[in-house]
Chain A
Amino acid sequence: MRAIQPTASGQLHLDGFQIGYECFGDPARPAVLLPPTWQIVDSRIWKMQVPFLARHFRVVTFDPPGNGLGERTTDPAAFEYERIARQGLGVLDHLGIARASVVAFSRGCTYGVWLAATQPERVERLVLIASVMTPHAWGKTPDGCFERRETCEGWQKENVHYWLEHYSDWLVFFFSQIFPEPHSTKGIDDGIGWGLGTNAEILAASVSRPELWPAMSAGEAVASVSCPVLLLHGSADPRYPVEASRALAAARPDWEFVTLEGSGHVPICRDPVRVNLLIHAFLTASAAQAERQ
């Protein structure tokens, strides 16, 4: 059982593909959009945030093509970051939400930053958790991920050929890595389960690479964000190290930055209480504080 059920959900044809969305909480409350991340998981990655946030906000999640409620396709165009961000806007439009705060995780941070940079009137506040992006790049293409290898050890398993042959082993490896904290079996099992909601071919089509990234440079986008921003990043994130958020904080000294000491890549699942409290405090901070900052 889920802790709460959506108050509304549906499928939409947006930007050439079918996506699915869910809404939670009172529609009269201020809106919070929780965009997706890489298709290796789906919108259930927010399961530790949604029930809490829905008591205070109108919470919207959605699944673009590739996993969860989104259609399954291997068309690379489906995974373009701008398209996914636009689909997020399309969901808000469909729901009649003019303005929302955006709380984003991992690859989702790129969608959040692009939205805040290009649609400033739609984004109230922005939270970036375990960001994969820096002021210099929207992401990174894993080294040699399209090369065929004899054997794949460690992070060499982040390789499309390995995925096609050893998909389960890849999922076990990947989620064990991004949850480095002891006693993370449930988070790892959940992640593997969501990973099995898609397949190796789709994942291969969605690998982070320049063709998928937005046209605008990451630096320009970061500089253009005008809403208040909170960065959260685990100091023990092995795959997407905290340096990414540190660089963002250095580029934007006005952004708040909370280091989560000892946390891995997925504090939204592994340290949900503190993450929820930090998100809530930030989203409810008043205009007076925003003015002072």
Chain B
Amino acid sequence: MRAIEPTDSGLLDLDGFQVGYEVFGSPASPALLLLSTWQIVHSRIWKMQVPFLARHFQVVTFDPPGNGLGERTTDPAAFTYERTVRQAVGVLDHLGIQRSTVAGFSRGCDFAILLTATEPERVERLILIGNGVSRSGWQPQPDAGFWDRRATYAGWEKRNAHYFLEHYDDWLAFFFSQIFPEPHSTKLIEDASGWARETTPEILVSTVPNPELLPRLPAAEAIEHIRCPVLLLHGDDDRCDPIGASYDLATTGPDWELVVLEGCGHGALARHPVQVNREIARFLDLPNPQRRTWTRAMARPRRALFISSPIGLGHVQRDLAIARELRGLVPDLQIDWLAQPPVTGVLERAGETIHPLSSQLASESTHWEASAGEHRLHCFHAFREMDEILLANFMVFLDVVRETPYDLWIGDEAWEVDYYLHENPELKTAPYIFMTDFLGWLPIDDDPNSREAFLTADYNTEMIEHIERFPSVRDRALYFGEYDDLVPGTFGPGLPDIRDWAREHVEAVGYVVPFDPADYVDTGTIRERLGYEPEQPLVVAAVGGTAVGRHLLDKIASAWPLIRRERPDARCVVVAGPRIDPASIPTQPGLEVRPYIHNLYEHLAVADLGIVQGGLGTTMELAVNRRPFLYFPLRDHCEQVFHVAHRLDHYRAGQRLDYDTTTPESLAAAAITTLSSDTSSYRQHEAGAARRAATLIAEVLQR
């Protein structure tokens, strides 16, 4: 999923070829044109900028022929720089945009400079990222060696027509490893390689500069024509277009600003998006609201920002429990929530204050649902694919904390906050509490040489390195559980043991449930309050807050007649959740479907059998209240398959079933056996975790 969708898009025939464009943000905002670059990638290269900039600008991206939305052709005439610039202007004309800020990346800087020099009245300001143009010429310069066949191709010799045509994958691997030289850049390299596979080596060969493609206007002359303010952003470890070109341009005049991104490669816009976005925002003077308030420090109420992850509804219940305890310990504390649906619905019902910028958050739940198959969700891949959404949401977080000086930031699995704070530690301006219920990405693929094994270890390594290098970013890290609830084993080959590392870097506070288990021992009273018969066997089936559980509910519905045959007195309550249409599950004798149940844990607490997904929240609510239950970890979901399953085993709670091999018949058999079964062997849950978490958080506020 993208973080935002275009508000307008289309294909245009311009200058003899078909181009595509997309528009984001309000047409009432000032226009910002993000130019195309070399056709080895397409306009999605701007994915880390578009969602942020679209909150302030009418952002236009376009794809000329060769890749993305542009037509595919090998006609070299399609790729002349002058034609590309005319097409860009054509897109602006089509959209009725007279004047816009123009940004170019890499070869896009050639286009941007040419456009500004030839159409100065169309360009407000100019942004050049990873620029290769200097007074000595356009970039890249034609290279005769490009057409020579060689016996071997070493390093940049791979930039060769024959090599493209014969070893395209290898060329891409080489090229993008040079574009993204920073460690832990796997996602960006995969993205870019994917975009490169949307075109062909034949097309790419036609786009490599020859004298016919380059503008007739000499670069030095074009540069002289530029009158608007210019921002140059350039990594000093740029192995594709070395920074020297930007040093040269920066001497043009006082209006030419250069920001050196030290330690960064050519692809800084994707690898260091927070800083690049902030520099762009600063250069463009994103207007402040006309009416603002600054509160002098000693007149401020004590205020915390709580960032609650929207993935599943388990987090918000425990976060509310912690917030309640925290208010008990720090009575004057105000809490604002930065959250998105479905979490905001729960918060609203609880009377909590939701920060208005929450509405600007890109949807994570929708992304997770879009990533799911039939009872299958590869949570690591889904998380990794969410990079654009996480960055977009971090930029919203930054706006929130720049506007309000909170005393404390609390993030419950607020991965975007945690990751980008470690990547940009100078942005930390308040104490920060990191909280999680799992630690360590583990590969589903059990081949130790699998790509997934490499990637999960790489992610774990980056996290470990982040914390070692910047230990003051997290003022406290809380783990919801006991150290033994953590999976045994290491973070990956050659990496620390997860439990050993946790003992040094996170504080185990125990598992937080949103209720006091002592209140649910007397099930008779609760049943009466909830409208259940005292003795009727009660089955509660629930699949969490997303639509991923749809197929499990269908399987339960198919098994129900078989269960009823054995237990005709039984009753089943199926909870569809906010994102599944209850009418899509047919009711049948003894089985009722409810769209949503407030405080579902109360119903689970009096159930004789729970049938649930392998999510941590629901299974632990059952385990803590010692209810019999069956659970189905989502396939490929490493958290459910490894972490939750291990924790439930540690509690000796629940019966784990495999979704794929379970038939309605075997489900019915398991249900009949487990219904009202003995749970006295469950490990006792230690109460008071929310209080312990709140105490540790309050200490940070009060120390």
A253 within 8 Å of B (CB atoms): yes
Contact pick for A249, options B124, B291, B296, CB 8 Å: B291
Q: Are B298 and A262 closer than 8 Å at their CB atoms?
A: yes
Number of interface residues of B (CB under 8 A): 18
A16 within 8 Å of B (CB atoms): no
Contacts A286-B229, A288-B125, A288-B229; is A258 near B287 (CB within 8 Å)? no
Q: Are B285 and A289 closer than 8 Å at their CB atoms?
A: yes
Chain B residues near A259 (CB-CB < 8 A): 291-294
Number of interface residues of A (CB under 8 A): 27
Q: Which of B420-448 contact A (CB under 8 A)?
A: none
A220 within 8 Å of B (CB atoms): no
Shortest CB–CB separation between residue B407 and chain A, in angstroms? 16
Contacts A261-B296, A262-B296, A263-B296; is A292 near B290 (CB within 8 Å)? no
Q: Which of B440-466 contact A (CB under 8 A)?
A: none
Chain B residues near A249 (CB-CB < 8 A): 290-291
A254 within 8 Å of B (CB atoms): yes
A274 vs B290: C-alpha distance in the bound complex, in angstroms? 17
Task: Look across to chain B and name the residue whose beta carbon is closest to the beta carbon of A270.
Answer: B296
Chain A residues near B151 (CB-CB < 8 A): none
Task: Look across to chain B and name the residue whose beta carbon is closest to the beta carbon of A263.
Answer: B296
A154 within 8 Å of B (CB atoms): no
B299 within 8 Å of A (CB atoms): yes
Q: Which of A247-265 contact B (CB under 8 A)?
A: 249, 253-263
Q: Are B292 and A258 closer than 8 Å at their CB atoms?
A: yes
A181 within 8 Å of B (CB atoms): yes
A285 within 8 Å of B (CB atoms): yes
Chain A residues near B298 (CB-CB < 8 A): 181-182, 262
Shortest CB–CB separation between residue A256 and chain B, in angstroms? 5
A271 vs B30: C-alpha distance in the bound complex, in angstroms? 34
Q: Are B292 and A257 closer than 8 Å at their CB atoms?
A: yes
Q: Are A253 and B287 closer than 8 Å at their CB atoms?
A: no
Q: Are A181 and B296 closer than 8 Å at their CB atoms?
A: yes
A293 within 8 Å of B (CB atoms): yes
A223 within 8 Å of B (CB atoms): no
Chain A residues near B229 (CB-CB < 8 A): 286, 288
Chain B residues near A256 (CB-CB < 8 A): 288, 290-292
Task: Look across to chain A and name the residue whose beta carbon is closest to the beta carbon of B228.
Answer: A288
Task: Look across to chain A and name the residue whose beta carbon is closest to the beta carbon of B291.
Answer: A257
Q: Are B293 and A258 closer than 8 Å at their CB atoms?
A: yes
Shortest CB–CB separation between residue B56 and chain A, in angstroms? 10
A98 within 8 Å of B (CB atoms): no
A278 vs B294: C-alpha distance in the bound complex, in angstroms? 10
Q: Which of B259-297 contact A (CB under 8 A)?
A: 284-285, 287-288, 290-296
Task: Look across to chain A and name the residue whose beta carbon is closest to the beta carbon of B30.
Answer: A292
Chain B residues near A285 (CB-CB < 8 A): 285
Chain A residues near B299 (CB-CB < 8 A): 236, 261-263
Q: Which of B85-131 contact A (CB under 8 A)?
A: 124-125
Shortest CB–CB separation between residue A187 and chain B, in angstroms? 13
Shortest CB–CB separation between residue B622 and chain A, in angstroms? 48
Q: Are B294 and A288 closer than 8 Å at their CB atoms?
A: no
Shortest CB–CB separation between residue B256 and chain A, in angstroms? 14
Q: Are A260 and B287 closer than 8 Å at their CB atoms?
A: no
A259 vs B285: C-alpha distance in the bound complex, in angstroms? 21
Contacts A182-B298, A285-B285, A286-B285; is A261 near B293 (CB within 8 Å)? yes
Shortest CB–CB separation between residue B227 and chain A, in angstroms? 12
A52 vs B186: C-alpha distance in the bound complex, in angstroms? 45
Chain A residues near B293 (CB-CB < 8 A): 235, 258-261
A270 vs B288: C-alpha distance in the bound complex, in angstroms? 24
Taking each of A260, A288, A289, which has the highest tally of chain B beta carbons within 10 Å of its own beta carbon? Answer: A288
Residues of B near any A CB (own CB < 8 A): 30, 124-125, 229, 284-285, 287-288, 290-296, 298-300
Other contacts beyond A271-B296, A288-B125, A288-B284: 18, CB < 8 A: A181-B298, A182-B298, A249-B290, A249-B291, A253-B290, A254-B290, A256-B291, A256-B292, A258-B291, A259-B294, A260-B294, A261-B293, A262-B295, A262-B298, A262-B300, A267-B296, A274-B294, A285-B285
Instruction: Give 28 CB contacts A-B under 8 Å.
Output: A181-B298, A182-B298, A235-B293, A249-B290, A254-B290, A256-B288, A256-B291, A256-B292, A257-B291, A258-B292, A258-B293, A259-B291, A259-B293, A260-B293, A260-B294, A260-B296, A261-B293, A261-B294, A261-B295, A261-B296, A261-B299, A262-B296, A267-B296, A278-B294, A285-B285, A289-B285, A292-B30, A292-B287
Closest 8 CB pairs of A and B: A262-B299, A261-B295, A289-B285, A259-B293, A262-B296, A258-B292, A257-B291, A286-B285
